[in-house]
Amino acid sequence: MRYDYSSIGFYTFDCLGWPYRGIPEGGGTFFLDDFALAVSGAAGTAAIAAAKMGLKCLAVGGVGPDLMGEWVLSRLAHFGVDTRGMKTVPGGRTSSSIVTTRADGSRPALHLRGATADFYVDDAFLPVATDARVVHLGGVGLMDRMDGGRGAELLKQAKIRGVTTTVDVFAGSREDLKKIALALPHTDFFIPSIEEASALTGLSSAGDMARTFFDLGVTCCIFTLGENGAYYHHRDGASFHMPAFDVAVKCTCGCGDAFNAGFAVACCRGFDPEMAVKFAQATSALNSTGLGSQAGVVSFDHTLAFMTETRLKRAAPLK
């Protein structure tokens, strides 16, 4: 395989300020203590965090011919991510967010959808995009041109080549389930947040949500639960809930996306399911200690040491 990780989908330019207290009246100003730029998104954060942890990564997505796009491409290259799969969409805009991070780490955002909706992986590039040990489709629900079936086709081709496939979403309603259902028969690990899984299924029990996705063809579900950790459920029946790491959170932006990266690293290292979910959560926890996606992720050894040395929180019961 040419790459360890092909990260396909949602790449965004983030501009973050901390701590957000609200919008001042009229034309007033509130002063911030910290400010950052980051490449983010379910594919973008994943590609950079995975590259920091030693994976040979390919980025596949779209940007616009604008300053944000130039910065996204140069930042990916800075971390050694191969950007040959990044299309500059003529007349498009780079997907971009203004992220207002509160003191407790939560982060409401103002978002321009941009080129994520418009990029497309053509026949000529499909063999390159699937030439990886792990192929990740991140941001299903936002990729208008890919969500109609092309993303599913890409995963299908990856599975024919014997590749491990992972999928993350940007989904808020049952309407989005149609797009995700196309991908699930070719998905080994489906990794939405529990809020997204609930919005997609209309259900409140994690086990019931997983069974709905099994009926649609997925092999394994991993739901991220924010500060409550992660829930793993394989269609063979194996399931567990693991609490999150006990860390001082600065900004949770990109925590789910960083989880994707940690999980890909774990797949490439041959970790068992519990170790893989723990390593993925360690990547997320490190992400949350800095402002901006993957800020606190340094290297594989650093994440492994953090995982070994840091306590998990007490498990909150899961529905």
Ligand X SMILES: Nc1ncnc2c1ncn2[C@@H]1O[C@H](COP(=O)(O)OP(=O)(O)OP(=O)(O)O)[C@@H](O)[C@H]1O
Q: Give residues in contact with ligand X (CB under 6 A).
A: 105, 193, 224-227, 229-230, 244-245, 247, 249, 252-257, 259, 281, 284-285, 288
For Mg ion, the closer of residues 92 and 293 by Cβ is 293
Phi/psi for 309 (5° steps) reads: -95, -15
Closest CB 177 distance from Mg ion, rounded Å? 16
Spell out, one character per residue from 170 to 209, where the chain touches Mg ion: x when CB under 5 A holds, - when not: -----------------------x----------------
Q: In angstroms, what is the minimal distance from the CB of 131 to Mg ion?
A: 26
Q: In the bound complex, what is the minimum distance in angstroms from residue 199's beta carbon to Mg ion?
A: 12
Dihedral angle computed from the Cα positions of residues 168, 171, 173 and 177, in that order, rounded to the nearest 10 degrees: -40
How many residues sit close enough to Mg ion to count as binding (CB under 5 A)? 2
Q: Which does residue 141 touch among ligand X, Mg ion, none (CB within 5 to 8 A, set by kind)?
A: none
**Cα distance between residue 259 and residue 280, in whole Å:** 5
As measured in angstroms, the least distance from the Cβ of 299 to ligand X is 19
Pairing verdict, β 132-140 and 164-169 = parallel
Find which of Mg ion, ligand X, none residue 100 binds, CB within 5 to 8 Å per kind.
Answer: none
What does 244 interact with, of ligand X, Mg ion, none (CB < 5 to 8 A by kind)? Answer: ligand X
> Binding partner of residue 171 among Mg ion, ligand X, none, CB under 5 to 8 Å per kind?
none
**Helix segments in the chain, DSSP class H:** 44-52, 67-78, 126-129, 144-147, 150-160, 177-183, 194-201, 206-215, 255-269, 273-288, 300-309
Q: How far is the CB of 293 from ligand X (least distance, A)?
A: 7
Which of Mg ion, ligand X, none lies near 247, with the C-beta cut-off 5 to 8 A by kind? Answer: ligand X
Q: How far is the CB of 23 from ligand X (least distance, A)?
A: 22
Q: Is 44 in the site for Mg ion (CB under 5 A)?
A: no
In this structure, are residues 166 and 264 in contact, taking their beta carbons and an 8 Å threshold?
yes
Smallest gap from Cβ 161 to Mg ion, in A, equals: 26
Residue 31 and residue 63 in contact, taking contact as beta carbons nearer than 8 Å: no
Q: How far apart are the first and last CA of the chain?
A: 41
- How many whole angstroms separate alpha carbon 284 and alpha carbon 250? 12
Say if residue 136 is exposed, middle or buried (CB neighbours under 10 Å; 0-12, 13-18, 19+): buried
Nearest Cα to Cα of residue 240 among 286, 285, 213, 273: 273
Instruction: Give bridge partners of residue 100 from the DSSP assignment.
Output: 17
Q: Give 9 or 62: the residue with its C-beta nearer to ligand X.
A: 9
Query: Minimal CB distance to Mg ion: which residue?
Result: 256
Query: Residue 166 binds what, of ligand X, Mg ion, none (CB under 5 to 8 Å, by partner type)?
Result: none
Among positions 85, 256, 290, 296, the unique one binding Mg ion when judged by CB under 5 A: 256
Contact positions toward Mg ion, by CB under 5 A?
Answer: 193, 256
